[in-house]
Chains A and B, each alone.
Chain A
C-alpha cells in the first residue's frame, strides 16, 4: 500500500547529520514506492538557500535523480528572510499558508525534522 508521507523541515541547516538522515528517510520511502514530498517552513527555508555545501544541500541536489519532485516551500518564510528563490539548490513550489494547510491535510503521515 502506498502512503502519502510529508517531510516537514522547519530547522535551519548545519545540524550535523540530521539533515542527511532526514533525506535518507525520505529516499527510503521513495524507494519503497511511497508518495513522498518535502516542505520547508520557517527557518527550514535556509536549507534550500544553503549554497555552501552543507550535507543537506548535497542530498537535496540528488532528489531529482530519485524522482522526488514534490518539493514545496512556505512563501512567507522566504519573503521574511529576503531569500532569492532563483538561487535555491533545487526548485521548490512556493505555497501560501492556506495551500500548506491543504497539503498537510491530504497526507497520511507527517514527519517533522
Chain B
C-alpha cells in the first residue's frame, strides 16, 4: 500500500522522478489544474517531474488558438511557464491531437491543413513516449477527465 503514499517522505527520502498524465481539458475538467497543483507540490518537495503526457481531451491544452476570457485563468499558459521554469517536457499524443485539431507544422503539411497550432513548449510525440515515461519514472500519476 506504500505505492499510494505518493509524496510522503517517511518511506522514501530520495527525490523521485515523477511523470504525469493529463486526460482532461481545462474547459470541461479540473484535470489540468489539479495536475499542476500536484506538480508544483512535488517540485517544492524536491522531486523532479520527468514528463507530462497530454492524452484524450487533455491535448487541447496545446492548442495555441484557445483564448481565455480576460481575467480568467489560462491553465495552458501556467503549464507552459511551469515547464520552462523547471525544465519539464510537455508531451502531447499525436493521434489524440490530430483527432482534436491540434497540428504541428509537419502534420499540417502532411494532411494538407491550412495551419498549425501547437503552443510552445508543448511538443507532439508518439504514444511510445508515454511508455518511455512509465519506464523511466518512479511514479506515474494520472489525472482523469
Contact = CB atoms under 8 A, between A and B. Distances in A.
Interface of A: 1, 3, 5, 17-18, 21, 24-25, 28-29, 32, 34, 105, 107-113
Given A111-B21, A112-B142, A24 B95 contact: yes
Given A105-B1, A105-B3, A21 B130 contact: no
Given A105-B1, A111-B21, A111-B142, A1 B127 contact: no
Interface string B101-145: 000000000000000000000000001101110110000101010
B55 A21 contact: yes
Interface in B46-99: 55-56, 95-96, 99
Given A25-B130, A28-B127, A105-B1, A18 B21 contact: no
Given A109-B134, A112-B23, 14 more contacts: A3-B134, A17-B96, A17-B99, A21-B55, A28-B131, A29-B131, A105-B3, A108-B3, A108-B140, A109-B140, A111-B21, A111-B142, A112-B142, A112-B144
A5 B142 CA distance: 12
Given A111-B142, A112-B144, A29 B3 contact: no
Interface residues of B, number: 19
Contact of A25 (B99, B127, B135, B144): B127
B35 to A, nearest CB: 13
Q: Which A-B residue pairs are the 8 nearest by beta carbons?
A: A32-B131, A109-B140, A28-B127, A112-B144, A1-B135, A3-B134, A111-B142, A29-B131
A89 to B, nearest CB: 22
Contacts of B55: 21, 25
A24 B134 contact: no
A28 to B, nearest CB: 5
Given A21-B55, A21-B56, A32 B128 contact: yes
18 contacts: A3-B134, A17-B96, A18-B56, A21-B55, A21-B56, A21-B96, A25-B55, A29-B134, A32-B128, A32-B135, A34-B134, A34-B135, A105-B3, A108-B3, A108-B134, A108-B140, A111-B21, A112-B142
A11 to B, nearest CB: 9
A92 to B, nearest CB: 21
B130 to A, nearest CB: 7
